[in-house]
DNA sequence: GTGGTTCCGTCAATAAACTAGACGCGTTGC
DNA sequence: GCAACGCGTCTAGTTTATTGACGGAACCAC
């Protein structure tokens, strides 16, 4: 019956009950003021919400007059939030990395936490917007790329068709008019975007993007047998290997991130815990796809069908 | 005057206006049904919300009867969302990495996007919960660590006091009763947690965590002059170097992530674009801090003041 | 101890937000 | 040309939330 009620709850009320659940689960406590302030409701309404929560999950909380707060009981069971750690940790990382404002989360006191990494230049919203519109409506754009030399960067014409993320950076997978092939352009190196217009090139010709291959990862045999087993467990391998389906164009990033592109033996095995078993296969497949794209693009004819403006992809 | 109104909006209404803003900005279009479904309101109320949005930002949208949707106009200016790219990209990455459900975001159609990385075992919510409670209330826990050998892992007693994130993994910075020093424990290798009890060790003695040092990063001189300039720009260096304040205990992760812990010349310069200029200083500082912690811990007396249960840190 | 403060809870009256059902209007697709 | 769909709007009625007032429990400073 309680489950029945749950469906009838209005969106706003449900969010507030989730908030109570969230705070109890992760922080063990909350008080009425936090609820009222967080959602801009009166304290009376907050009381009513708490009463409702209690009626639906009586054993979850009790009021501690000394702490002036509601506290989680020992046999607490989350009632409204799917108890996903990921949401919690994601938000924590996002706040620590300044991607998100603390007020937009449901945290009160953040646990002491630190995120390792190098913060990078932010992406300009207008540029991302232009890229997204281009992807959706199959447009090409003129862009100026961040030039370090101070000299005026020549404008390039690119037609983005997908986004990719690696090592904290976002890339726009794009056709390049100048080179007549497909390449990656780092979003936050774009300095200026202008002159969007329909693009005749079919993104399906980007075979390096479209085709995937299984990277076959195994523990570095230079590690002790015990460490190898640990690595196998760490990366959830079965039969001593892990197959990772990867787009050909992205295999480079994954290889780079895990030092799979370094000759075996060159690095200390602890710095190269994984070995790519089918490296030549991957590299050949990638080169072949690249060649196929080039030939298809050179051959033309370029595709003619155009989606209507602002239509869904 | 409009700004005045904005403050009076109720939380739920404001969220819906933000939703309209978000969709218009990032996807260029939305319709009434999306609003009604997303927030569980009636179509009448959705119409009312749209009318209100239009009254507050008349030039932002127009209805396209052919598309059966509201579309963004050329001179659109976001009115309710701070136009932060980060929120957009963060959610995109989160959804792509399965950290977040699409329904919890405001996306309609996701742009084609891919996140490079190896998915890892999920962290058990109960374990994270126990660790967080331990951090807040200064407890020690018995944990069983994931053992690859199949043999029963001996329980260890740890007292976590902070979280750290690196390369997709979360670590609990903890005092170890067995070793009587401070170490990192990977959250998703914890198999079982039990027997929490107050811990007499003061986390302030973890000098490797408390002390920070500036890592001084410079472009790898083995790169061409032009590439060096590009790297300097890419990492926002001033005077050819970037100072990155880092906790001593985390310097290892940062060094590992950017191959700063590899001898110069061993790797192709493209795989080692950054060089750590003060590596020996960092390593000495770290070793010194570690030694200080050990001595302080060995010396005792262990700290006596205890925060009350469930009190804020 | 005593007053002052700050939490909480509740009652009653009022205002705002929202829903249900019904109707008309324009566009699209068969 | 007709059904289907999405939008806008009207009325009446319900739910949700606010304002204002009052009282209880715990804590702090004096």
Q: What is the pLDDT of residues A237-255, one digit of tens each?
A: 999 999 999 999 999 999 9
pLDDT exceeds cutoff 80 at A221: yes
| Separation CA A298–CA A49 (nearest Å) | 65
CA A150 to chain centre: 33
Sign of the Cα torsion A291, A296, A300, A305 reads: negative
- Per domain, the residue ranges of chain B are 2-83, 85-116, 125-199, 208-295
Q: Check if the beta carbon of residue A145 is closer than 8 Å to that of residue A153.
A: yes
Q: How many CB pairs under 8 A join A and B?
A: 219
CB distance B111 to B92 below 8 Å = yes
Statement: residue A313 has pLDDT above 60: no
Identify the pLDDT of residue B78.
Answer: 87
**Which residues of chain B from 238 to 257 reach within 8 Å of chain A, CB to CB?**
242, 244, 246-247, 250, 253-254, 256-257
Partners of A259 on chain B (C-beta within 8 Å) are 259, 271
Summarize the confidence of residues B158-174 as an average pLDDT. Answer: 93
Q: What is the rounded CA–CA span in Å between residue B74 and residue B61?
A: 9
Set of chain A residues whose Cβ sits within 8 Å of the Cβ of B161: 112
Return the number of other C-beta atoms located less than 10 Å from residue A194's C-beta: 10
User: Would you call A159 exposed, middle or buried from its count of C-beta atoms within 10 A (0-12, 13-18, 19+)?
Assistant: buried
* Confidence check: pLDDT of A5 > 70: no
CA-closest candidate to residue B278, choices B208, B217, B209: B217
pLDDT of residue A188: 86
Q: Give the residue whose CA sits closest to D25 at C1'.
A: A65
Q: Check CB contact under 8 Å for B89 and A170.
A: yes
CB A290 within 8 A of CB A251: no
Q: What is the DSSP string of chain B?
A: -HHHHHHHS-HHHHHHHHHHHHHHHHHSEE-HHHHHHHHT--HHHHHHHHHHHHHHSTTSEEEETTTTEEEE-TT---SSS---HHHHHHHHHHHHTTSS-GGGS--SSPPSEEE-S---PPPPHHHHHHHHHHHHHTEEEEEEE--SSSSPPPPEEEEEEEEEEETTEEEEEEEETTTTEEEEEEGGGEEEEEEEEE----GGG-HHHH-EEEEEEEE-TTS-HHHHHHHHHHTT-BTTBEEEEEEHHHHHHHHHHTTTTS-TTTS-GGG--EEETTHHHHHHHHHHHHHHHHHHHHH-PPP---PPTT---
Could you tell me which residues are beta bridge partners of residue B247?
B212
Answer whether A92 touches B (CB < 8 Å): yes
Cβ contact A164–B267 (<8 Å): no
Q: Which of B16, B118, B187, B248 to mutate to test the interface with A (most CBs of A within 10 A)?
A: B118
The 10 Å Cβ neighbour count of residue B193 is 21
CATH architecture for the domain at B2-83: Orthogonal Bundle (1.10)
Write out the two tokens for B63: 């209805």
Lowest mean pLDDT, pick from A118-127, A279-288, B117-126, B147-156: B147-156
What is the rounded average pLDDT for all residues in chain A? 86
What pLDDT, on the 0 to 100 scale, is given for residue A151? 59
- Mutate which of B123, B137, B163 to disrupt the A interface (most A C-beta within 10 Å)? B163
Put simply, the answer to whether B114 touches A165 (Cβ < 8 Å) is: yes
Per mean pLDDT, which of A28-37, A82-91, B30-39, B155-164 is the most reliable?
B155-164
3-state secondary structure of A161: strand
Report residue B83's pLDDT band, with 50, 70 and 90 as the boundaries. Answer: low
Per-residue pLDDT reduced to its tens digit, A12-70 = 888 888 899 898 898 888 988 888 888 888 888 888 889 888 888 888 888 888 888 89
Is there contact between B44 and strand D, defined as CB under 7 Å from any strand atom?
yes
Q: pLDDT category, B5, cuts 50, 70, 90?
A: very low
Q: Which of B71, B122, B267 minimises the CB distance to A310?
A: B71
Q: Which two tokens stand for residue B1?
A: 């005057």
Strand C, CB < 7 A, residues 118-157 of B: none
Quick check: A162 contacting B, CB < 8 Å?
yes
What sign results for the dihedral spanned by CA atoms A158, A163, A166, A168?
Answer: positive
Among candidates B114, B117, B253 on the partner chain, residue whose Cβ is nearest the Cβ of A247: B114
Asked if the bond preceding B8 is cis, omega within 30° of 0, the reply is: no
Q: How confident is the model at residue B89 (pLDDT cuts 50, 70, 90)?
A: confident
Q: How far apart are CA A176 and CA A153, in angstroms?
A: 16
* Distance in Å, residue B73 CA to nucleotide C18 C1': 30
Best CA proximity match to B292, nearest among B231, B221, B208, B216: B208
CB-strand contact B298/C, under 7 Å: no
Q: To the nearest whole angstrom, how far is the Cα of B39 from the nearest Cα of chain A?
A: 6
Dist CA A16 CA B12 (whole Å): 11
Partner B contacted by A28 (CB < 8 A): yes
pLDDT at residue B158 tops 90: yes
The answer to whether B45 CB is within 7 Å of strand C is yes
Under DSSP, is residue A282 helix (H, G, I), strand (E, B) or coil? helix
Q: Which nucleotides of D are covered by protein (CB under 7 A)?
A: 5-11, 15-21, 25-27
* SS percent in chain A: helix, strand, coil, step 5: 40, 25, 35
- Quick check: B69 CB within 7 A of strand D? yes
Q: In this structure, how many other beta carbons lie within 10 angstroms of the beta carbon of residue B107?
A: 17
A128: its two tokens: 């991302």
Across B243-259, average pLDDT: 95
Number of alpha carbons in the 13 Å side-chain half-sphere of residue B266? 16
Average pLDDT over residues B214-240: 92
pLDDT confidence band for A299 (50 / 70 / 90): confident
Residues 6+ apart with CB under 8 A from A3: none
Q: Does A223 touch chain B (CB under 8 A)?
A: no
Q: Residue B28: its chain A contacts at CB < 8 A?
A: 133, 136, 310
How much is the pLDDT for B105? 86
Residue A153 has pLDDT above 80, yes or no: no
Please provide the DSSP assignment of A23-46 as one string.
Answer: HHHHHSEE-HHHHHHHHT--HHHH
pLDDT (0 to 100) of residue A112 = 86
3-state secondary structure of A9: coil
Q: Give the pLDDT mean for A220-241.
A: 91
Residues in A touching B149 (Cβ below 8 Å): 226, 229
Angstrom distance (rounded) from CA A175 to CA B258: 29
Smallest Cβ distance to B116: which of A28, A121, A250? A250
For the ranges A121-125, A173-177, B248-252, B279-283, which has the lowest average pLDDT?
Answer: A121-125
Verify whether the Cβ–Cβ distance B85 to A135 is below 8 Å: no
Between chains, do A85 and B122 touch, taking CB under 8 Å as contact? yes
- In sequence order, what are the residues at sequence separation of 6 or more whose Cβ sits closer than 8 angstroms to the Cβ of residue A64? A29, A70, A71, B310
Q: Which of A87-101, A146-160, A173-187, B272-286 has the lowest mean pLDDT?
A: A146-160
With vertex at residue B110, the alpha carbon angle to CA B109 and CA B115, rounded to the nearest 5 degrees, is 170
Beta carbon of A65 within 7 Å of strand D?
yes
Residue with tokens 């106009």: B73
Nearest nucleotide, CA A54 to C1': C9
DSSP letter for each residue of A206-259: -HHHH-EEEEEEEE-TTS-HHHHHHHHHHTT-BTTBEEEEEEHHHHHHHHHHTT
- CB-nearest to A85 from B40, B100, B125 is B125
Name the more confident of A305 and A222. A222
Per CB-CB distance under 8 Å, the chain A contacts of B162 are 111-114
Q: What percent of chain A is predicted at pLDDT more than 70? A: 90
pLDDT at A181 over 90: yes
Q: Is B40 on the interface with A (CB under 8 A)?
A: yes
As a whole number, mean pLDDT of residues B53-67 equals 86
Q: Which is nearest to A177 in space by CA: A134, A119, A123?
A: A134
Q: Is the CB of A299 under 7 A from strand C?
A: no
- Average pLDDT over chain B reads 86
Length reported for chain A: 313
Identity of the residue in A135, A148, A310 whose CB atom sits nearest the CB atom of B230: A148
Q: Which of B157, B124, B136 is nearest to B309 (CA)?
A: B136
- The per-residue pLDDT for B310 is 38
Query: How does residue B193 score in pLDDT terms, banded at 50, 70 and 90?
Result: very high
Quote the pLDDT of residue A147: 63
Local structure of residue A126 (DSSP, 8 states):
H
Of A286, A278, A269, nearest to A224 by C-alpha is A269
Written as six digits, the tokens of A272 are 């190269």
The pTM of this model reads 0.85
Q: Are B267 and B273 in contact (CB under 8 A)?
A: no
Q: Which of residues 115-144 of A touch B (CB under 8 A)?
A: 115-118, 120-125, 128-129, 132-133, 135-136
Segment B51-65 shows an average pLDDT of 86
The closest of A147, A143, A148, A144 to A159, measured between CA atoms, is A143
| Strand pairing report for B190-198 and A169-176 | unpaired
A302 contacts A199 by C-beta, under 8 angstroms: no
How confident is the model over B229-241, as pLDDT tens digits? 888 988 989 999 9
């Amino acid at each position: 019956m309680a489950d029945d009620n749950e469906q009838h709850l209005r969106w706003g009320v449900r969010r507030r009950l989730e908030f109570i659940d969230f705070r109890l689960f992760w922080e063990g406590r909350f008080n009425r003021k936090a609820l009222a302030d967080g959602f801009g409701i009166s304290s009376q309404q907050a009381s009513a919400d708490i009463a409702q929560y209690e009626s639906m999950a009586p054993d979850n909380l009790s009021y501690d007059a000394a702490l002036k707060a509601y506290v989680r009981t020992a046999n607490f069971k989350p009632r409204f939030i799917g108890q996903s750690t990921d949401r919690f940790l994601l938000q924590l990382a996002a706040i620590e990395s300044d991607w998100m404002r603390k007020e937009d989360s449901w945290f009160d006191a953040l646990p002491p936490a630190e995120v390792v990494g190098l913060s990078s230049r932010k992406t300009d919203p207008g540029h991302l917007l232009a890229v997204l519109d281009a992807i959706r409506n199959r447009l090409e754009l003129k862009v100026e790329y961040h030039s370090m030399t101070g000299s005026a960067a020549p404008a390039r014409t690119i037609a983005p068709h997908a986004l990719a993320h690696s090592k904290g950076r976002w890339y726009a997978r794009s056709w390049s008019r100048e080179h007549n092939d497909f390449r990656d352009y780092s979003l936050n190196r774009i300095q200026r975007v202008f002159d969007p217009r329909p693009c005749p090139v079919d993104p399906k010709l980007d075979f390096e993007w479209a085709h995937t291959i299984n990277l076959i990862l195994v523990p570095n045999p230079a590690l002790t047998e015990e460490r190898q087993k640990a690595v196998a467990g760490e990366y959830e391998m079965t039969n001593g290997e892990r197959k990772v389906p990867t787009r050909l164009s992205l295999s480079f990033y994954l290889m780079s991130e895990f030092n799979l592109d370094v000759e075996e033996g060159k690095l200390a095995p602890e710095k190269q815990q994984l070995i790519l078993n089918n490296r030549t296969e991957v590299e050949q497949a990638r080169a072949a796809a690249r060649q196929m794209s080039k030939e298809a693009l050179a051959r033309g004819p370029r595709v003619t069908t155009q989606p209507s403006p602002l239509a869904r992809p």
